[in-house]
């Protein structure tokens, strides 16, 4: 009977795991545009970079081989008649190979804040346009430079007029998000036609896939009405296949295929000119745009067709591998089950359900991390979060199998254990595990509140500890303690949940799940700390509010001020411009981040209130000036250290 129950429990779990992966991995048919087989699509954005390359590598000597360009254009010419490029630096060979494959080029010059580099780009663009007049369909002077606040509209219009003079008979324009054309009419007056970007996912009010086509049509008609007499060209439109949800806009392979096919059908019906973004996934964009930035391509970085344009599409084309990983993880739990073969039928059912669910969640999180991680910090974060999830998963399964709720130390005692001030015990290990979960959840909350735009929700990993600790708390005696760390952590998690819910809106179900996770983690901590008071931390709260207000004022008034863009281009030696430039260098070199993490480490080591105060201010500077990863880590470590330091000493 014991062997039979074990076999049945694992068979049910494996069947459930297989059913889950099969169900979400099965390719689905998505309607395609009704076009003749030989009907070419119009333009597609092209960058030749492979998985570990980026345009920044040109400064280190990167060269793009002619064979790479030839192969890429051979792939694209099967479906498209035109390419759009964004720079000429390092890509001078593109027009030559486009001619070989019968394609035209929308030739782009990269325009930024440096006038010298801008002129170099323009000179190369003019030379290429003169060399390949039959290939260059139009030139595009700058891409989203107004959006990035790197140039003024009048300066941009000046570049357009210069190129029109040097390239008579060639169409010249600029490309930006549609609303920036309305803000800068001087650019529209100078351009031969209007090249607008309409990206429903990236709108300030993101548009769900179901409303995306109506949104594009509405925006295009609005631009035509407000800028009459100019031809409208949709210079970028597309949908990401991976990344975080924004309100109701969900990235996925199926949604990308649904969007691209729907747009092509609409554009051909309305006789629009268009350019899709983009030909190949560009992983380097994930560094600045988060995971979603690297997944707008019709093909993978390895030039594998993602079936966006045609054929069945699946959000998990590798579902068989993911099933194998989940099944392996589930079978490893036999090491726990073998000690409790005597479980009754009801307990075996709970065990197998938790075992299957946890195995799926851990593999889902591993899959997400493999897609979104770009640097050593993110890989370390992924390893740590997955390790915590696996640890709690095994702890919960052991509790189900034995029927005994695991004991754990308070967060304060767990911190003492990690600092080497208490002895090793199962309760200490369990407490350290919980402290790690709470600390990581707080780091994620701080990041999502202050830098949410490009940051993914790690829901799959945190669902396991959220449910586990909530369940553990319901089985333990309701005993209040004076846990200041518990009190502070629960309050921050709850406040963070409210802020995230407000920022993301209820339409974002990924955010809604994260909010529930935060509340599930916060509730047991709040119950356990009803005797604690946060009053000792009030002076530090006031310090943080004051510092945060001052730093935000500097960021808004100096660093990202649109009024200073033109001023600092013309007079870069003005004191305010020097301050702006200094902040930019400090931010770019991650100085705020490293200063905050260094001070946090010193504060943790010395357990010093003064060092904690300095570390908190430094970490706030990192959070405000976009050094968020390390700054959030420093902020949470310092906060925990400070709360630990302020706990009254026990006899």
> What secondary structure does DSSP assign to 597-644, as a single string?
HHHHHHHHHHT-HHHHHHHHHHHHHHHHTT-HHHHHHHHHHHHHHHHH
Give the torsion sign (CA, 307, 311, 315, 321).
Answer: negative
What is the Cα–Cα distance from 299 to 309, expressed in whole angstroms?
A: 10
Q: Where are the domains of the chain?
A: 39-294, 319-527, 536-646
What is the Cα–Cα distance from 238 to 278, expressed in whole angstroms?
A: 8
Weakest mean pLDDT among 51-65, 91-105, 129-143, 612-626: 51-65
DSSP reduced 3-state for 234 = strand
H-run or E-run covering 438:
helix 426-450
Cβ contacts of residue 518 below 8 Å, gap of 6+? Answer: 441, 445, 493, 494, 496, 497, 500
What are the Cα distances from residue 630, in Å, to 6, 438, 601, 618, 621?
46, 17, 12, 11, 11
| Token pair for 429 | 């290990």
Side-chain-side CA neighbours of residue 606 (13 Å): 13
In residues, how long is the chain? Answer: 651
What is the Cα–Cα distance from 349 to 343, expressed in whole angstroms?
A: 10
> For all residues of the chain together, what is the average pLDDT?
92
Higher-confidence residue: 644 or 121? 121
Question: How far is residue 643 CA from its own chain's centroid?
Answer: 31
pLDDT at 396: 95
Quick one: average pLDDT of 52-58? 88
Q: Are 635 and 603 in contact (CB under 8 A)?
A: no
Check whether 524 has a pLDDT greater than 80: yes
pLDDT at 9: 87
What own/partner pairs with CB < 8 Å and gap ≥ 24 does 35-38 have?
A: 35/264, 35/268
DSSP reduced 3-state for 204 = coil
Pairing outcome for strands 136-143 and 273-276 = unpaired
What is the Cα–Cα distance from 185 to 180, expressed in whole angstroms?
A: 9
What is the Cα–Cα distance from 471 to 343, expressed in whole angstroms?
A: 19
Give percent of the chain above pLDDT 90. 73
In angstroms, the first-to-last Cα distance of the chain is 54
pLDDT at 651: 37
Q: What digits encode the pLDDT tens for the residues 447-456?
A: 999 988 889 9
What is the Cα–Cα distance from 205 to 83, expressed in whole angstroms?
A: 29
Higher-confidence residue: 104 or 3? 104
Reported as a pLDDT band with limits 50, 70 and 90, residue 458 is very high
Quick one: average pLDDT of 573-596? 90
Quick one: average pLDDT of 469-476? 85
Weakest mean pLDDT among 366-375, 421-430, 566-575, 607-616: 566-575
Q: What digits encode the pLDDT tens for the residues 57-80?
A: 888 888 999 999 999 999 999 999
What are the Cα distances from residue 587, in Å, to 269, 559, 584, 622?
47, 11, 5, 8
Cβ contacts of residue 551 below 8 Å, gap of 6+? Answer: 620, 621, 624, 625
DSSP reduced 3-state for 519 = helix
Q: 3-class secondary structure for 551-563? A: HHHHHHHHHCCCH
Check whether 650 has a pLDDT greater than 50: no
| Token pair for 415 | 């911190």
Rg (CA), the chain: 28
Give percent of the chain above pLDDT 70. 98
Check whether 480 has a pLDDT greater than 60: no
pLDDT at 478: 54
Q: Shortest CA distance to 198 belongs to which of 183, 182, 220?
A: 220
Q: Shortest CA distance to 235 belongs to which of 261, 208, 259, 199?
A: 199
pLDDT at 648: 53
Quick one: average pLDDT of 37-57? 91
What is the Cα–Cα distance from 397 to 352, expressed in whole angstroms?
A: 9
Burial class (CB in 10 A: 0-12, 13-18, 19+), 238: buried
Check whether 52 has a pLDDT greater than 90: no
Weakest mean pLDDT among 10-14, 48-52, 568-572, 617-621: 568-572
pLDDT at 345: 84
Q: What digits encode the pLDDT tens for the residues 536-555?
A: 889 889 999 999 999 999 99
What is the Cα–Cα distance from 268 to 284, expressed in whole angstroms?
A: 32
Quick one: average pLDDT of 503-526? 95
* Neighbouring-strand partners of residue 104: 82
pLDDT at 59: 81
Reported as a pLDDT band with limits 50, 70 and 90, residue 424 is confident
Q: What is the CATH number of domain 39-294?
A: 3.20.20.80
What is the Cα–Cα distance from 83 to 101, expressed in whole angstroms?
A: 11
Q: Are 636 and 644 in contact (CB under 8 A)?
A: no
* Count of beta carbons in the 10 Å neighbourhood of residue 327: 19
DSSP reduced 3-state for 65 = coil
Weakest mean pLDDT among 208-212, 250-254, 342-346: 342-346
pLDDT at 72: 97
Check whether 234 has a pLDDT greater than 90: yes
Higher-confidence residue: 422 or 269? 269
pLDDT at 340: 80
Considering 202-206, 333-337, 601-605, the range whose residues carry the highest mean pLDDT is: 202-206
What is the Cα–Cα distance from 103 to 55, expressed in whole angstroms?
A: 23
Check whether 479 has a pLDDT greater than 60: no
DSSP reduced 3-state for 214 = helix
pLDDT at 297: 97
What is the Cα–Cα distance from 81 to 225, expressed in whole angstroms?
A: 29
Q: Are 179 and 217 in contact (CB under 8 A)?
A: no
Weakest mean pLDDT among 327-331, 338-342, 591-595: 338-342
Residue 536 preceded by cis peptide, ω within 30: no
Reported as a pLDDT band with limits 50, 70 and 90, residue 1 is low
């Amino acid at each position: 009977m014991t062997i039979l129950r074990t076999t049945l429990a694992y068979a049910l779990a494996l069947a459930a795991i297989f059913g889950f992966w099969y169900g979400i991995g099965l390719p689905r048919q998505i309607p395609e545009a009704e076009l003749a087989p030989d009907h070419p699509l119009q333009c597609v954005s092209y960058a030749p970079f492979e998985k570990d390359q980026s345009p920044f590598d040109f400064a280190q000597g990167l060269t793009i081989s002619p064979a790479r360009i030839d192969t890429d254009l051979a792939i694209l010419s099967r479906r498209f008649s035109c390419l759009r490029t964004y720079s000429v630096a390092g890509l001078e060979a593109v027009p030559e190979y486009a001619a070989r494959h019968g394609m035209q080029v929308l030739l782009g010059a990269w325009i930024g804040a440096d006038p010298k580099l801008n002129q170099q780009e323009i000179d190369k663009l003019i030379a290429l346009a003169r060399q390949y007049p039959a290939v260059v369909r139009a030139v595009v002077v700058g891409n989203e430079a107004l959006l990035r606040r790197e140039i003024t509209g009048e300066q941009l219009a000046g570049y357009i007029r210069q190129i029109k003079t040097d390239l008579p008979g060639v169409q010249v324009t600029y490309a930006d998000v549609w609303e920036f054309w309305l803000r800068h009419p001087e650019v529209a007056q100078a351009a031969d036609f209007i090249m607008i970007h309409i990206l429903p996912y990236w709108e300030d009010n993101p548009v769900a896939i179901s409303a995306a086509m109506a949104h594009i049509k509405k925006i295009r008609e609005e631009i035509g009405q407000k800028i009459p007499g100019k031809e409208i060209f949709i210079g970028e439109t597309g949908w990401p296949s991976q990344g975080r949800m924004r309100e109701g806009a969900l990235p996925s392979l199926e949604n990308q295929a649904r969007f691209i096919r729907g747009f092509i059908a609409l554009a051909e019906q309305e006789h629009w000119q268009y350019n899709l973004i983009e030909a190949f996934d560009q992983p380097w964009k994930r560094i600045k745009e988060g995971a979603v930035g690297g997944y707008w391509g019709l093909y993978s970085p390895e030039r594998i067709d993602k079936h966006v344009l045609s054929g069945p599409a699946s959000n998990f084309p590798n579902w068989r591998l993911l099933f194998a990983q989940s099944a392996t993880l589930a079978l490893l739990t036999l090491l726990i089950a073998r000690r409790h073969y005597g479980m009754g039928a009801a307990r075996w059912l709970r065990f197998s359900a938790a075992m299957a669910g946890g195995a799926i969640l851990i593999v889902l999180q591993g899959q997400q991390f493999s897609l979104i991680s770009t640097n050593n910090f993110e890989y370390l974060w992924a390893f740590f979060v997955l390790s915590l999830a696996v640890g709690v998963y095994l702890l919960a399964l052991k509790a189900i199998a034995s029927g005994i709720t695991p004991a754990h130390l308070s967060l304060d005692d767990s911190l003492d254990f990690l600092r080497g001030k208490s002895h090793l015990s199962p309760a200490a290990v369990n407490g350290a595990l919980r402290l790690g979960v709470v600390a990581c959840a707080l780091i994620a909350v701080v990041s999502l509140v202050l830098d949410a735009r490009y940051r993914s929700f790690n829901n799959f990993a945190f669902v396991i500890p959220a449910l586990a600790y909530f369940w553990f708390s319901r089985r333990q005696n309701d005993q209040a303690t004076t846990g200041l760390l518990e009190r502070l952590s629960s309050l921050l998690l709850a406040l963070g949940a409210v802020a995230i819910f407000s920022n993301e809106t209820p339409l974002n179900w990924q955010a809604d799940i994260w909010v529930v996770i935060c509340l599930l983690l916060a509730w047991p901590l709040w119950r356990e700390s009803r005797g604690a008071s946060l009053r000792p931390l009030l002076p530090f709260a006031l310090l943080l509010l004051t510092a945060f207000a001052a730093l935000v004022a500097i960021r808004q008034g100096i660093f990202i001020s649109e009024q200073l863009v033109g001023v600092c281009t013309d007079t870069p030696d003005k004191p305010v411009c020097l301050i702006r430039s200094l902040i930019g260098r400090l931010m770019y070199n991650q100085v705020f981040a490293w200063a905050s993490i260094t001070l946090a480490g010193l504060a943790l080591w010395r357990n010093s209130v003064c060092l904690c105060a300095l570390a908190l201010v430094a970490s706030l500077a990192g959070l405000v000036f976009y050094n968020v990863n390390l700054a959030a880590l420093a902020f949470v470590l310092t906060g925990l250290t400070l709360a630990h330091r302020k706990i009254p000493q026990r006899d």
